[in-house]
Amino acid sequence: MNLDDAQRSKVGEWIAQGMKLSDIQARIASELGLKMTYMDVRLLVDDLKLTPKDSETAKPVSAVLETAPTPPPPPRSSSGTPPAAASEPAPAGLASSVSVQVDQLARPGSVVSGKVKFSDGNLAEWYFDQMGRLGLIPQKPGYRPPASDLQQFQSLLDSELGKMGF
């Protein structure tokens, strides 16, 4: 859909004001008299080389903990373990019995992955898939970590991923 320069500048102003694409879609219909789909508005904003401020924010790790189907195991190095970053230290003032590691190379099919050791010594692999879902794969089939460990894990994971820009 072609817009004239005045209409394009209007859309640019709305983006600068921080309006969401759905709001811009509604205003284009009401103020400019043009019916556009949400995708049309996205493409228009892209064509105008504008960056909307309503880009979807990452959900906090504590929002949802899903156990997804078990993907294939990650490739192992010659030592038998995948490369990983150092364990996350406990937050100041708290003795953490849970440790989190982030893989330097994410497992296939995931955006980021790593390992977690729970207070009872059980290990699990975790990952975020392309849809932003958190998966937890325990080494012992059927293992369920204690609720307090899950809270600690989520807090440590959120902190570690925040440092990495996720």
Residue 87 sits in the same domain as residue 24: no
- The answer to whether residue 72 sits within a structural domain is yes
Which tokens is 73 given? 């195991």
Q: How many domains does the chain have?
A: 2
Residues 43 and 68 in one domain: no
Q: Is 135 a member of any domain?
A: yes
- Distance CA(134)–CA(126), nearest Å, equals 7
Same-domain check for residues 109 and 77: yes
Question: Tell me, what's the pLDDT at 152?
Answer: 93
126 or 164, higher pLDDT: 126
Q: Does a structural domain hold residue 55?
A: no
Is residue 77 predicted with pLDDT exceeding 60? no
One domain for residues 158 and 132 = yes
The verdict on 91 and 14 lying in the same domain is no
Residues 6+ apart with CB under 8 A from 122: 138, 139, 140, 143, 145
Same domain as 100, residue 23: no
Please check whether residues 66 and 116 belong to one and the same domain: yes
Range of the domain at 151: 61-163
Residue-wise pLDDT for 87-123, tens only, equals: 444 444 445 689 999 999 999 989 999 999 999 999 9
Query: Are both 26 and 84 inside the same structural domain?
Result: no
DSSP string, 46-95: HHTT---TTPPPPPPGGG-------PPPPP--TTSS--BPPPPPPPTT--
Provide long-range contacts, Cβ within 8 A and 24+ apart, for 44-51. Answer: 44/1, 44/3, 44/11, 45/11, 45/15, 45/21, 48/8, 48/11, 48/12, 50/11, 50/12, 50/15, 51/15
Please indicate, yes or no, if residue 148 is contained in any of the structural domains. Answer: yes
Note the pLDDT of residue 95. Answer: 55
Question: Is residue 53 included in any domain, yes or no?
Answer: no
Does the global pTM surpass 0.85? no
The mean per-residue pLDDT over the stretch 127-147 comes to 91
